[in-house]
């Protein structure tokens, strides 16, 4: 992964089209290394979450090019590479497993991180998860306790508990959440370890129960709309 990290670091300092064109071979090499790792990641996750079986790299990875139409930041390229592995692929709306490498100083979690769960769930899915926790939070608490090394990510949580949920509940912080994610940081030492794939798969496996609970809510919403 060193070539991937080095490329992203250099790109962050030279985020422009002429530089990328000059260094296109480096980009393609870094991309192929990341895609190769993603293939192995998909196969490994499928051993404990069969619902991701059959996914391709294209189903799970993202373009380097940024959408700058409505952004004040006009730099053309992302300074990260990520893979989101979930049933149906990255656009399906299902909970899954995300692996992320980032240029130094650019990410909100630090350089690199892995996370499991739901990011920006649809409103009906968000309500379904909240209702599930309201009905019985114990399965979620148990799933979180199984995810050793991960912590609940409260990013962008609401300041107040939304209407219809008890503000005096011991789980009020979960009712305020807009995303349901377990996350852990990875430093360069972790990412450059020869056992990276094994370590990442071991970590994601610990979050499978959490992901499975969330996808129960996703499936409920999908079935209710059919």
CATH number for the domain that contains residue 170? 3.30.930
Smallest Cα–Cα separation from 80: which of 156, 12, 2? Answer: 12
CA–CA gap between residue 114 and residue 199 (Å, rounded): 11
pLDDT, tens only, 11-59: 999 999 999 999 999 999 999 999 999 999 999 999 999 999 999 999 9
Residue-level pLDDT at 183: 97
Reported confidence tier of residue 226, pLDDT bands at 50, 70, 90:
confident
Residue-level pLDDT at 71: 82
Residue 172: strand, helix, or coil: helix
pLDDT, tens only, 53-110: 999 999 999 999 998 888 888 899 999 999 999 999 999 999 999 999 998 865 444 5
CA–CA gap between residue 86 and residue 101 (Å, rounded): 18
Residue numbers of the domain that contains 203: 2-225
Q: What is the mean pLDDT of the chain?
A: 95
* Distance spanning both ends of the chain, measured CA to CA: 43
Q: What's the structural domain count of the chain?
A: 1
Residue appearing with tokens 């071979």: 25
CA–CA gap between residue 22 and residue 217 (Å, rounded): 47
The predicted model scores a pTM of 0.95
Residue 77: strand, helix, or coil: strand
Residue appearing with tokens 């649809």: 122
């Amino acid at each position: 992964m060193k070539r991937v990290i080095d490329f992203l670091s250099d790109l962050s300092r030279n985020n422009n089209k002429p530089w990328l064109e000059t260094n296109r071979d480096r980009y393609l090499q870094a991309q192929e290394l990341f895609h190769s790792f993603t293939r192995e990641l998909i196969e490994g996750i499928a051993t404990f979450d069969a619902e991701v079986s059959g996914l391709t790299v294209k189903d799970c990875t993202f373009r380097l090019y940024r959408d700058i139409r409505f952004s004040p930041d006009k730099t053309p390229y992302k300074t990260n590479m990520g893979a989101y592995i979930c049933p149906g692929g990255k656009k399906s709306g299902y909970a899954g497993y995300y692996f992320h490498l980032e240029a130094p100083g650019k990410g909100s979690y630090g350089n690199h991180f892995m996370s499991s769960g739901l990011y920006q769930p649809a409103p009906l899915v968000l309500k379904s998860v909240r209702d599930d926790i309201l009905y019985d939070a114990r399965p979620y608490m148990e799933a979180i306790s199984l995810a050793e090394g991960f912590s609940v990510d409260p990013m962008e949580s609401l300041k107040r508990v939304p209407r219809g949920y008890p503000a005096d509940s011991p789980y009020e912080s979960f009712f305020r959440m807009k995303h349901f994610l377990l996350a852990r940081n990875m430093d360069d030492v972790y990412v450059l370890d020869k056992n990276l794939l094994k370590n990442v798969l071991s970590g994601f496996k610990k979050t499978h129960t959490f992901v499975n609970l969330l996808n129960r809510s996703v499936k409920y919403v999908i079935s209710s709309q059919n």
